[in-house]
Protein backbone atom coordinates (compact mmCIF):
# COMPACT_ATOMS: atom_id res chain seq x y z
CA UNK A 1 0.00 0.00 0.00
CA UNK A 2 1.39 3.40 -0.99
CA UNK A 3 0.32 5.13 2.21
CA UNK A 4 1.99 2.53 4.38
CA UNK A 5 5.36 3.28 2.79
CA UNK A 6 4.83 6.99 3.22
CA UNK A 7 3.71 6.80 6.81
CA UNK A 8 6.95 5.09 7.70
CA UNK A 9 8.93 7.94 6.17
CA UNK A 10 10.36 10.85 8.11
CA UNK A 11 7.89 13.24 6.55
CA UNK A 12 4.82 12.16 8.48
CA UNK A 13 5.19 9.32 10.96
CA UNK A 14 1.84 7.85 11.85
CA UNK A 15 0.76 4.49 13.21
CA UNK A 16 -2.64 2.88 13.74
CA UNK A 17 -3.43 1.98 17.32
CA UNK A 18 -3.12 -1.71 16.54
CA UNK A 19 0.52 -1.15 15.50
CA UNK A 20 1.20 0.80 18.68
CA UNK A 21 -0.29 -1.91 20.86
CA UNK A 22 1.78 -4.61 19.16
CA UNK A 23 4.96 -2.65 19.90
CA UNK A 24 4.29 -2.16 23.59
CA UNK A 25 3.30 1.49 23.37
CA UNK A 26 0.73 3.13 25.67
CA UNK A 27 -2.84 1.93 25.34
CA UNK A 28 -4.29 4.66 27.56
CA UNK A 29 -5.73 7.79 26.01
CA UNK A 30 -4.89 10.91 28.08
CA UNK A 31 -6.10 13.49 25.58
CA UNK A 32 -8.59 16.09 26.73
CA UNK A 33 -11.74 16.27 24.59
CA UNK A 34 -13.94 18.44 26.80
CA UNK A 35 -16.16 21.17 25.46
CA UNK A 36 -13.74 23.91 26.52
CA UNK A 37 -10.10 22.96 26.84
CA UNK A 38 -9.32 26.54 27.84
CA UNK A 39 -11.06 25.99 31.18
CA UNK A 40 -8.86 22.96 31.79
CA UNK A 41 -5.79 25.04 30.94
CA UNK A 42 -6.95 27.86 33.24
CA UNK A 43 -7.23 25.41 36.11
CA UNK A 44 -3.81 23.92 35.48
CA UNK A 45 -2.24 27.39 35.12
CA UNK A 46 -3.64 28.42 38.49
CA UNK A 47 -2.33 25.22 40.08
CA UNK A 48 1.08 25.69 38.47
CA UNK A 49 1.31 29.22 39.89
CA UNK A 50 0.43 28.06 43.39
CA UNK A 51 2.92 25.19 43.33
CA UNK A 52 5.73 26.97 41.46
CA UNK A 53 5.56 24.62 38.49
CA UNK A 54 5.57 25.01 34.73
CA UNK A 55 2.57 24.30 32.51
CA UNK A 56 3.24 21.56 29.98
CA UNK A 57 0.90 21.31 27.01
CA UNK A 58 1.08 18.36 24.64
CA UNK A 59 -0.96 18.62 21.45
CA UNK A 60 -1.23 15.22 19.83
CA UNK A 61 -3.44 12.34 18.81
CA UNK A 62 -3.80 8.64 19.41
CA UNK A 63 -3.18 7.88 15.72
CA UNK A 64 0.23 9.57 15.73
CA UNK A 65 3.34 7.38 15.95
CA UNK A 66 5.51 10.09 17.53
CA UNK A 67 2.81 11.01 20.02
CA UNK A 68 2.73 7.39 21.11
CA UNK A 69 6.52 7.43 21.47
CA UNK A 70 6.32 10.50 23.68
CA UNK A 71 3.63 8.93 25.87
CA UNK A 72 5.71 5.78 26.23
CA UNK A 73 8.65 7.82 27.54
CA UNK A 74 6.41 9.94 29.77
CA UNK A 75 5.24 6.70 31.40
CA UNK A 76 8.76 5.72 32.49
CA UNK A 77 9.23 6.15 36.27
CA UNK A 78 12.13 8.61 36.34
CA UNK A 79 10.62 11.02 33.82
CA UNK A 80 7.17 10.57 35.27
CA UNK A 81 8.52 11.76 38.64
CA UNK A 82 10.06 14.85 37.03
CA UNK A 83 6.77 15.69 35.35
CA UNK A 84 4.77 15.22 38.54
CA UNK A 85 7.10 17.36 40.65
CA UNK A 86 7.77 20.20 38.20
CA UNK A 87 4.84 20.40 35.76
CA UNK A 88 1.09 20.60 35.44
CA UNK A 89 0.32 18.69 32.25
CA UNK A 90 -2.56 19.01 29.79
CA UNK A 91 -2.84 16.67 26.80
CA UNK A 92 -4.81 18.37 24.02
CA UNK A 93 -6.39 16.25 21.30
CA UNK A 94 -6.00 17.70 17.79
CA UNK A 95 -8.35 15.08 16.32
CA UNK A 96 -7.55 14.78 12.62
CA UNK A 97 -5.71 18.12 12.47
CA UNK A 98 -8.95 19.99 13.17
CA UNK A 99 -8.61 21.08 16.83
CA UNK A 100 -6.13 22.77 19.15
CA UNK A 101 -5.63 25.98 17.18
CA UNK A 102 -7.08 28.11 20.00
CA UNK A 103 -4.53 26.59 22.40
CA UNK A 104 -1.47 27.43 20.32
CA UNK A 105 -2.81 30.91 19.53
CA UNK A 106 -3.30 31.66 23.22
CA UNK A 107 0.42 31.25 23.81
CA UNK A 108 1.60 33.05 20.71
CA UNK A 109 2.17 30.08 18.42
CA UNK A 110 0.20 30.65 15.19
CA UNK A 111 -0.40 26.94 14.56
CA UNK A 112 0.80 23.49 15.56
CA UNK A 113 3.24 22.33 12.91
CA UNK A 114 2.80 18.65 13.66
CA UNK A 115 2.16 16.12 16.38
CA UNK A 116 3.16 16.02 19.07
CA UNK A 117 3.62 19.72 19.72
CA UNK A 118 5.21 20.17 23.14
CA UNK A 119 4.75 23.58 24.78
CA UNK A 120 6.36 24.60 28.07
CA UNK A 121 4.69 27.70 29.50
CA UNK A 122 5.66 30.03 32.34
CA UNK A 123 2.39 30.29 34.30
CA UNK A 124 3.08 33.78 35.66
CA UNK A 125 3.42 35.43 32.26
CA UNK A 126 1.82 32.73 30.06
CA UNK A 127 5.01 32.90 28.00
CA UNK A 128 5.96 29.98 25.77
CA UNK A 129 9.53 29.38 26.93
CA UNK A 130 10.63 26.40 24.82
CA UNK A 131 9.77 27.80 21.41
CA UNK A 132 13.39 27.69 20.11
CA UNK A 133 13.62 23.95 20.79
CA UNK A 134 10.15 22.69 19.92
CA UNK A 135 11.03 21.25 16.51
CA UNK A 136 12.70 18.14 17.94
CA UNK A 137 9.43 16.89 19.42
CA UNK A 138 7.82 16.43 16.02
CA UNK A 139 10.05 13.33 15.88
CA UNK A 140 9.47 12.43 19.53
CA UNK A 141 9.74 8.69 18.98
CA UNK A 142 13.30 9.16 17.70
CA UNK A 143 14.45 11.22 20.69
CA UNK A 144 16.47 9.22 23.22
CA UNK A 145 15.18 8.75 26.75
CA UNK A 146 18.33 10.47 28.02
CA UNK A 147 17.40 13.54 25.97
CA UNK A 148 13.87 13.45 27.39
CA UNK A 149 15.20 13.47 30.96
CA UNK A 150 17.69 16.24 30.32
CA UNK A 151 15.23 18.41 28.43
CA UNK A 152 12.40 18.38 30.94
CA UNK A 153 14.77 18.71 33.89
CA UNK A 154 16.33 21.78 32.25
CA UNK A 155 13.02 23.34 31.27
CA UNK A 156 11.63 22.89 34.77
CA UNK A 157 14.15 25.45 36.08
CA UNK A 158 14.30 27.66 32.99
CA UNK A 159 14.67 31.33 33.88
CA UNK A 160 13.67 34.07 31.48
CA UNK A 161 16.33 36.64 30.64
CA UNK A 162 14.21 39.62 31.64
CA UNK A 163 16.56 42.25 30.22
CA UNK A 164 16.83 40.51 26.85
CA UNK A 165 13.16 39.66 26.56
CA UNK A 166 12.24 43.21 27.51
CA UNK A 167 14.35 44.70 24.73
CA UNK A 168 12.42 46.82 22.23
CA UNK A 169 14.81 45.78 19.45
CA UNK A 170 14.14 42.14 20.15
CA UNK A 171 10.40 42.79 20.29
CA UNK A 172 10.58 44.44 16.86
CA UNK A 173 12.46 41.47 15.39
CA UNK A 174 10.09 38.95 16.95
CA UNK A 175 7.09 40.87 15.64
CA UNK A 176 8.42 40.55 12.09
CA UNK A 177 9.03 36.83 12.56
CA UNK A 178 5.56 36.38 14.04
CA UNK A 179 4.00 38.04 11.00
CA UNK A 180 5.93 35.67 8.72
CA UNK A 181 4.70 32.66 10.70
CA UNK A 182 1.10 33.85 10.79
CA UNK A 183 0.95 34.21 7.01
CA UNK A 184 2.27 30.66 6.54
CA UNK A 185 0.05 29.32 9.33
CA UNK A 186 -3.06 30.34 7.40
CA UNK A 187 -1.90 28.23 4.47
CA UNK A 188 -1.07 25.28 6.73
CA UNK A 189 -4.49 25.40 8.39
CA UNK A 190 -6.21 25.34 5.01
CA UNK A 191 -4.05 22.37 4.05
CA UNK A 192 -5.09 20.59 7.28
CA UNK A 193 -8.73 21.21 6.36
CA UNK A 194 -8.07 19.67 2.97
CA UNK A 195 -6.08 16.63 4.04
CA UNK A 196 -7.32 15.96 7.58
CA UNK A 197 -10.46 14.20 6.30
CA UNK A 198 -8.26 12.02 4.06
CA UNK A 199 -6.22 10.99 7.10
CA UNK A 200 -9.42 10.30 9.04
CA UNK A 201 -10.81 8.15 6.25
CA UNK A 202 -7.57 6.15 6.21
CA UNK A 203 -7.44 5.69 9.98
CA UNK A 204 -11.14 5.05 10.56
CA UNK A 205 -12.11 3.22 7.38
CA UNK A 206 -8.87 1.88 5.94
CA UNK A 207 -9.25 3.87 2.72
CA UNK A 208 -5.80 4.25 1.21
CA UNK A 209 -4.40 7.59 0.07
CA UNK A 210 -4.46 8.14 -3.67
CA UNK A 211 -1.18 8.96 -5.37
CA UNK A 212 -2.28 12.60 -5.59
CA UNK A 213 -3.14 12.75 -1.89
CA UNK A 214 0.11 11.03 -0.98
CA UNK A 215 2.05 13.68 -2.90
CA UNK A 216 0.07 16.44 -1.23
CA UNK A 217 0.95 15.05 2.22
CA UNK A 218 4.60 15.18 1.22
CA UNK A 219 4.27 18.78 0.10
CA UNK A 220 2.60 19.75 3.35
CA UNK A 221 5.13 17.93 5.52
CA UNK A 222 8.10 19.59 3.84
CA UNK A 223 6.46 22.98 4.05
CA UNK A 224 5.29 22.99 7.66
CA UNK A 225 8.49 21.50 9.07
CA UNK A 226 10.52 23.93 6.99
CA UNK A 227 8.56 26.96 8.17
CA UNK A 228 8.92 26.02 11.83
CA UNK A 229 12.64 25.40 11.43
CA UNK A 230 13.22 28.71 9.64
CA UNK A 231 11.18 30.64 12.22
CA UNK A 232 13.22 29.07 15.04
CA UNK A 233 16.44 30.04 13.27
CA UNK A 234 15.24 33.62 12.82
CA UNK A 235 14.34 33.88 16.50
CA UNK A 236 17.77 32.64 17.52
CA UNK A 237 19.46 35.08 15.13
CA UNK A 238 17.42 37.92 16.60
CA UNK A 239 18.37 37.07 20.18
CA UNK A 240 22.04 36.68 19.26
CA UNK A 241 22.04 40.03 17.47
CA UNK A 242 20.50 41.84 20.43
CA UNK A 243 22.85 40.16 22.91
CA UNK A 244 25.89 41.08 20.82
CA UNK A 245 24.59 44.57 20.01
CA UNK A 246 24.63 43.86 16.30
CA UNK A 247 22.25 44.89 13.57
CA UNK A 248 20.16 42.23 11.88
CA UNK A 249 18.28 42.43 8.62
CA UNK A 250 15.70 39.70 8.48
CA UNK A 251 15.12 38.31 5.01
CA UNK A 252 12.15 35.99 4.90
CA UNK A 253 11.91 33.32 2.19
CA UNK A 254 9.19 33.31 -0.41
CA UNK A 255 7.30 30.04 -0.68
CA UNK A 256 5.83 28.60 -3.84
CA UNK A 257 2.18 27.66 -3.88
CA UNK A 258 0.97 24.21 -3.00
CA UNK A 259 0.01 22.16 -6.03
CA UNK A 260 -3.67 22.57 -5.14
CA UNK A 261 -3.59 26.33 -4.53
- Is the whole-model pTM more than 0.75? yes
Q: For the chain, which domains are there?
A: 2-243 (3.40.30.10)
* Beta carbons within 8 Å of 46's beta carbon, 6+ residues apart: 123
Interval 175-192 mean pLDDT: 97
Residue 28: pLDDT band with limits 50, 70, 90 = low
Confidence of residue 217 (pLDDT cuts 50, 70, 90): very high
How does residue 34 score in pLDDT terms, banded at 50, 70 and 90?
confident
Integer Cα distance of 222 and 114 in angstroms: 11
pLDDT digits (tens, 9 = 90+) for 85-133: 999 999 999 999 999 999 999 999 999 999 999 999 999 999 999 998 9
Strands of the sheet with 127-128, listed across from one edge: 87-93, 54-60, 117-122, 127-128
- Residue 194, SS3 per DSSP: helix
Q: Per-residue pLDDT for 22 more than 80?
A: no
pLDDT greater than 80 at residue 180: yes
Amino acid sequence: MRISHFLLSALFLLAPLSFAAEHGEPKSDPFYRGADVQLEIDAKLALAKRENKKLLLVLGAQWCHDTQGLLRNFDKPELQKTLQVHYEVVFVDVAYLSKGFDVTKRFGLPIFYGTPTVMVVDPETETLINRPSMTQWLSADSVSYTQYKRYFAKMSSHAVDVKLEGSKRLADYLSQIQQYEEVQAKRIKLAYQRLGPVLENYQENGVDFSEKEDNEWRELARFRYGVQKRAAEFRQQARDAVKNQQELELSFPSHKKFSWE
